[in-house]
Every structure is written in structure tokens, then in C-alpha cells.
Chain A
Amino acid sequence: MPLFFYSKDGTNTRSASGQPGFEYWQNKADYKLSAKLNESDNEITGTSSITYTNNSPDSMSFLWMYLDQNLFKEDSRGNAVIPITGSRNGAQGEIFDGGHKIKSVKIVTSVKGISTEKEAKYLINDTRMQVFLPQELKSRGGVVTIKIDFSFISPKEGSDRMGILGTKNGKIFSIAQWYPRMCVYDDIAGWNTNPYQGASEFYMEYGDFDVSITVPANHFVVCSGELINVSEVYTVDQQKRFSQAKQSDKTVVIRSKEEVLTAVNATTKTHKTWHFKMKNSRDVAWASSASFILDGARINLPSGKKSLAISAYPVESEGNEAWGRSTEFTKALIENYSKRWFEYPYPTAINSASIVSGMEYPGIVFSSYKDKGKDLWDTANHEFGHIWFPMIVGSNERLFAWMDEGFNTFINSLSSDDFNNGEYKDKPVDMHVIGLKYTNPDLETVMSSPDNMKEANIGDLCYRKPSVGLVILREQVLGAERFDLAFRTYIDRWAFKHPAPDDFFRTVENVAGEDLSWFWRGWFVNNWRLDQGINSVKYVDDNPKLGTLITIENFEKMVMPVVLDIKTKSGKISRLKLPVEIWQRNKDWTFKHNSTEEIESVVLDPDHVFPDYNESNNAWKSVK
């Protein structure tokens, strides 16, 4: 590893200051999607028309797309690496005809308003599809439209990110990773084509979506974005309640339990098409069921704009101890994150009850239908927090999960503090325990991708450890004001763009005005440990009235500032703070404390705010 923290200088596309460079570019993928749900066969049949704009400086002779459903094919790479037990990935042993079936791939050209379609050559490899273009796609603005007919059978449990829940009033389909999606072409790797193996999530291009979903007529659909044809899919009464919800700070029922129970015995062979639009998004997901109770409330955003919180859940989940509070939570979370960090950009925020334990998509999240009380709050908090990371700040989840899971876990702790006078506030963590656990030498580094670490370590390394790192940085190194400004600046700079780790590190350093390479090295890049200890406590000239010389030492590779409590015999406690710079050229450090009496005790990190894994050398006590 080079000793210099940054392996390269800033570029024209990524500034040394951490902001997008003056020649930053990214490509765009606009989708017109249509899908039809066959409830009895669990099959989705669809057409995807993708208009792809190449803003890169490179011309292209082929494109790469993801076919994520291919994870569920029996011979997929993901299936091959899923252990027999103890994994949440794959289809949980379900034997079915999984995988995307591609019926056709066509290039659509339009000349003088006349559209023609021509079959394109394509090659499918595992979860990726390479589409060969009949002529090169020009750099800096070239546009191509591709039309793909596809289908797939939904797994019942799709890697804990999608699936089908059976309820007494009908199946709930939670549908995601459902259409062929563009891979990202960026200035770092060119095409990002790491296969979907289950553990690592997604890296998506931004664009506008027009989505039409045809389902049995007794179903209700919730989807990322704005419902366009309200009058065609809701009854007159439901339309009125839908409008009331948009004006109400209290939850308004849009489709009641009684309506669900009345409709459940009504057989239907007809279908309805639900039409949604979503702008500037990296994905869309949806859910459909005859069993949905629906409610909603207005979300008030800092600019004065409004959004709409919606919850969809079966009768099994209803009640004020359970999903009856989902919309209240959703509204509070979106308003909190908008106020603290960046304004929510989408017209709706939907929490949909699901077989999935918790999964995020732009404008819609799937939460376990079993969740109640604090569990429901925690799931909604985390999944809606993902709207900011990675839906707004579009980092590469497949490689750097800590940039979404970790950053999200960090903001979750602050929103829990804020909500309803701390109703669901978490207890403070003991950083010494954190240090012992999260810097265990058996762990991989935070910078490892989820596909490159033990599945059991993902919770620690992608969620908790990076989150704790930001807590230490905020509360002990920079202070809340400097940290929050830097973090907000990072979000502002990279909203709807594709930041890499250096862009985050550089932004924090530049905005806060600190070289934090020592911090990134210890906590993120390496799995170093912290062990500060007290070596000796002596009096100047053996006279307590002349002051005390205290020698501390840094025993492991990680460095942190130092906090000590010094207690004198008379009971006076002095708190001393020493900057991290004492370790810049010293393994141990002796400093004078201007005491005038004998010392009773010295304690390093008395509040347990640094991740010092070894407490055995943290305290000195007078033997007299």
C-alpha cells in the first residue's frame, strides 16, 4: 500500500477537493416500462424501452445491462457461492424456473417520425447482457433506444429483496430487479459489470421512468413515483380520501380493512393498468395485492413543496402497535432527513408490507409485514434513510456498501434521537466494546465489497463500523458543526451523481479543513486497532506540589486524540484533551499536568468514546 493516502491526484472529472471535476460526466438511462402480472403463475411479462444517452468522451460499440433475475437460475454464479445454510441470498432453496427470459432485443430508430425496429445481437453471461450496436454510439451526447421483451417468474423469497407473501386475503407481490437495467459506464472503470451474486447490491444510472403495470382488477398497486391515472384505478370514495391524505398531517385511510374484506371474495378476470411516472431516479420497484389496506398523509418539505407518505399492508399487519403507525413514521422520517441533509425529491414515499425483511428502492421501501413498534420504526428508518444513500447520492453499492449502508446507519441514529421526544432512541454505545468487536483482526476491512467478505461480517463492516466511524469523526474529531457541514456538502455535491470513496474523503477534508488520512487509514482502509495506555505517573522532582508528569503510549497502529481524567487526592477531577498530533512523531508522550497535590487516579478515555479495545492499561491508581 502506498504511504500517500490518495493513490492519484485529482482529475478533470473528479477534483482534488472532492467535488465533481469541471469535466465530470455521467450517462443517462430513461425507461418506458410496461409489465403484466400473472398472479396464478407468479410471472411478470414486460417490455422495456430504454433511451440511453452517452455523455462520456468515448464512443461505444456495445452496451452492458443487468439481468438480475438470472441470480435465481440454477446455474448462476450467485447460486454457486451461496452456502447450504446461514445465507439470506438466493431463492432460499426454492426450485423453480427462475431467471430473465429475453424474448427479443431491438434497436429502435426514428426517421422523420417513422419508427423502425431492428433485431440486435446480444450475449447473456450470468446476470449481465451485452448488446451489440449496429453502429457506434457517439460520444458526448449520442442517443440510442433499445426495446426488450422479457419475462420472469418471481421467486417467493428473492435474496431478501423481492418476493411473494401469502396472506389470507391474497398474495402480496414485492417486485424489484425486474426489468433489464443499464450498467453504469463511468470515468473510473468504464463499464461496471460485476455480477449480481446476492450479497452486493446495485450501481444504477439515473433517468426518467414511465411505468405501466397491468394487474388483476381487484389488485392495488404501489410503485416508485407519482400515480398518473388515479381516477381509473381508485373508486370515487378512494379518490376523495386520496385527495384528503394529500392535505392531511394525520394519517387518512384510503382503502380500508372493510373494503379489503368486501373485495376478497369477488373473483375477477378483468385487469387494470396502473400508470406511474418517476423523474431523476436510478430505479423503480412496485408492489401489488388485493389484500392491501392503504393509508396516507402529507409530507411537508423545507422548501414548501409537498410529498405524500403512503403505507400498504394486509389486515395481518394492521393496528396502532403495528402498521397503523407506518405512515406517521414515514412522514416523520422524510421530513427529518429533508431538514437535516437534503430535500426529498420524489412525489411519494411508500412503505409496503412484504415478505422482505427490509429493502429500499427510490420512493418505495419493502418492510416486513411482521414488524411492530420499534422494529417497524427501525426498519422504516433504515430503508427510507437509503433514499439519501444511495438513491440520491448514487454511489457504487456493489463495491462500496459502506458508502450507503454505513452512511445510512449513521443518519438513522440521529433521526431516532429526534423522533417523538426520543421514543425509539437507541442506548449510547460503549466504544471500547465497539473497538473490541469491530477491529477484531479476523475481520476484513470496511473497504472490502460485500461479495469479498464473510456474509456474517456484512452487518458489522458495511453497516455498524462505518457508521460508528462517522460518529467518532463527528463527536470526537471534528465536532458536530464542522462534520455536518462537510457531510451536507458531500450530499449536495454528489446528489444524483456517482461518487467514489476518494470523493467522500476529499470533500470532508476540504470542507472541514483537516488532513484526516490517519483516520481513514485506521478505520476504513485498514482494520487497525486502537490501544492507548498509561505508562507512568510521576511528580516533578518527586514533589506533588510542582506538578505531575504523565506518560502515555500508543500501542497499536490506529491513532486517535486523547482524553484523560486526572483525579487528585482531594477529589478534584480535571479533564485533559490532547490532539492527535501528539502521535505524529511519537510512540509515547510525556506531558506535565499542573497539579499541586498528590494524584489519586488517571483514567484514559473515561467516557468510552474512542474504540480502545484494550482497557487493561487505561487506568492508573495511586497505591498509597
Chain B
Amino acid sequence: MKNICLKYILQLTFLLGTSFLWAQQNRVSATTKQNSNYDYHEAFAPFFLF
């Protein structure tokens, strides 16, 4: 079935992309330390754990 929202999505993608590229070009320096939500066990666990 046709995705009737496709045009809207592409336009939005373009606009957001443009604004992000602009934002990145104007950033000058380093980063602030954040807290991580990452859990490597959740992402990679190969075995079923009871």
C-alpha cells in the first residue's frame, strides 16, 4: 500500500537536516559529560538467563 505520508516525511527530513547541519557548523567546542543509559548486557546477552 502506498505510504501517503512519504512526501511530508521527505520534506521534514530535509528541513531538519538543514537545521542540524547549520547547528553543527556553528558549534565550536567540546562536550558535557552525560549519564549513560547503556547496558551492554541488555544489548548483547547471548544466552537466556533465568
Interface residues, chain A, CB within 8 Å of chain B?
2-4, 88, 160-161, 201, 357-360, 368, 378-379, 382-383, 405, 409, 426-427, 429-430, 432-434, 436-437, 456, 458-460, 463-464, 515, 517-518, 521-522, 531, 533-535, 537, 553-559, 583-588, 615-621, 623
The chain B residue with its CB closest to the CB of A1 is: B42
Q: Which of A437, A459, A584 is the one whose CB lies under 8 Å from B13?
A: A437
Q: How far is the CA of A433 from the CA of B3 in the complex (A)?
A: 19
**Chain B residues whose CB sits within 8 angstroms of the CB of A553 once the complex forms:** 34, 36, 38
Whether B2 contacts A359 by the Cβ 8 Å rule is yes
Whether A4 contacts B40 by the Cβ 8 Å rule is no
Which 7 A-B pairs rank lowest in CB-CB distance, beginning with the nearest? A358-B2, A4-B48, A459-B5, A3-B45, A430-B17, A617-B31, A463-B3
Q: Which of B6, B20, B40, B42 is the one whose CB lies under 8 Å from A615?
A: B20
CB B36 to nearest CB in A, in angstroms, measures 5
**Chain A residues whose CB sits within 8 angstroms of the CB of B20 once the complex forms:** 430, 432-433, 436, 615
Whether A518 contacts B44 by the Cβ 8 Å rule is yes
Given A518-B44, A521-B43, CB of A436 within 8 Å of CB of B33:
no
CB A616 to nearest CB in B, in angstroms, measures 7
Beyond A2-B48, A459-B5, A621-B30, 6 extra complex contacts between A and B, CB < 8 Å: A358-B4, A427-B14, A437-B16, A533-B34, A587-B40, A618-B24
**Chain B residues whose CB sits within 8 angstroms of the CB of A518 once the complex forms:** 43-44
Q: How far is the CA of A322 from the CA of B32 in the complex (A)?
A: 54
Q: Which of A3, A434, A588 is the one whose CB lies under 8 Å from B49?
A: A3
**Chain B residues whose CB sits within 8 angstroms of the CB of A161 once the complex forms:** 1
Q: Which of A3, A405, A515, A623 is the one whose CB lies under 8 Å from B3?
A: A405
Whether B9 contacts A359 by the Cβ 8 Å rule is no
Whether A88 contacts B4 by the Cβ 8 Å rule is yes
Q: How far is the CA of A517 from the CA of B46 in the complex (A)?
A: 8
Whether B1 contacts A405 by the Cβ 8 Å rule is yes
Q: Which of B34, B38, B48 is the one whose CB lies under 8 Å from A583?
A: B38
Whether B3 contacts A554 by the Cβ 8 Å rule is no
Given A437-B13, A459-B6, CB of A160 within 8 Å of CB of B1:
yes
From DSSP, what is the main secondary structure of chain B's interface residues? loop
CB B18 to nearest CB in A, in angstroms, measures 9
Q: Which of A463, A533, A559, A620 is the one whose CB lies under 8 Å from B43?
A: A559
Among B28, B35, B43, B48, max chain A CB count under 10 A is at B43
14 example contacts (A-B, Cβ-Cβ < 8 A) are as follows A4-B46, A160-B4, A357-B4, A360-B1, A368-B2, A430-B21, A456-B5, A521-B42, A522-B43, A535-B33, A555-B37, A559-B44, A615-B20, A621-B27
CB B48 to nearest CB in A, in angstroms, measures 4
Per the CB 8 Å criterion, the residue count for chain B at the interface is 40
Whether B29 contacts A623 by the Cβ 8 Å rule is yes
Q: How far is the CA of A302 from the CA of B8 in the complex (A)?
A: 37
Q: How far is the CA of A99 from the CA of B42 in the complex (A)?
A: 48
Whether A535 contacts B31 by the Cβ 8 Å rule is yes
Interface residues, chain B, CB within 8 Å of chain A?
1-6, 9-10, 12-14, 16-17, 20-21, 23-24, 27-49
Given A160-B1, A433-B16, CB of A623 within 8 Å of CB of B40:
no
Among A429, A456, A515, A586, max chain B CB count under 10 A is at A429
The chain A residue with its CB closest to the CB of B14 is: A427
Q: How far is the CA of A464 from the CA of B4 in the complex (A)?
A: 12
The chain B residue with its CB closest to the CB of A617 is: B31
**Chain A residues whose CB sits within 8 angstroms of the CB of B27 once the complex forms:** 616, 619, 621
Whether A382 contacts B3 by the Cβ 8 Å rule is yes
CB B2 to nearest CB in A, in angstroms, measures 3
**Chain A residues whose CB sits within 8 angstroms of the CB of B34 once the complex forms:** 531, 533, 553, 555, 617
**Chain B residues whose CB sits within 8 angstroms of the CB of A558 once the complex forms:** 43
Q: How far is the CA of A409 from the CA of B3 in the complex (A)?
A: 9
Given A437-B16, A534-B30, A619-B24, CB of A359 within 8 Å of CB of B46:
no
Q: How far is the CA of A459 from the CA of B1 in the complex (A)?
A: 10
**Chain B residues whose CB sits within 8 angstroms of the CB of A459 once the complex forms:** 3-6, 9
Given A436-B16, A437-B13, CB of A3 within 8 Å of CB of B42:
yes
Whether A621 contacts B48 by the Cβ 8 Å rule is no
CB B41 to nearest CB in A, in angstroms, measures 7
**Chain A residues whose CB sits within 8 angstroms of the CB of B2 once the complex forms:** 160, 357-359, 368, 379, 382-383
**Chain A residues whose CB sits within 8 angstroms of the CB of B1 once the complex forms:** 160-161, 201, 358-360, 405
Q: How far is the CA of A151 from the CA of B18 in the complex (A)?
A: 54
Whether B46 contacts A515 by the Cβ 8 Å rule is yes
Whether A4 contacts B45 by the Cβ 8 Å rule is yes
**Chain A residues whose CB sits within 8 angstroms of the CB of B3 once the complex forms:** 382, 405, 409, 458-459, 463-464
The chain A residue with its CB closest to the CB of B47 is: A4
Whether B46 contacts A621 by the Cβ 8 Å rule is no
**Chain B residues whose CB sits within 8 angstroms of the CB of A620 once the complex forms:** 29-31
The chain B residue with its CB closest to the CB of A371 is: B2
Whether A517 contacts B12 by the Cβ 8 Å rule is no
The chain B residue with its CB closest to the CB of A401 is: B1
Q: How far is the CA of A277 from the CA of B24 in the complex (A)?
A: 59
Q: How far is the CA of A3 from the CA of B24 in the complex (A)?
A: 37
Whether B37 contacts A557 by the Cβ 8 Å rule is yes
Whether A585 contacts B24 by the Cβ 8 Å rule is no
Q: How far is the CA of A220 from the CA of B8 in the complex (A)?
A: 36
**Chain B residues whose CB sits within 8 angstroms of the CB of A531 once the complex forms:** 34
CB B31 to nearest CB in A, in angstroms, measures 4
Whether B6 contacts A556 by the Cβ 8 Å rule is no
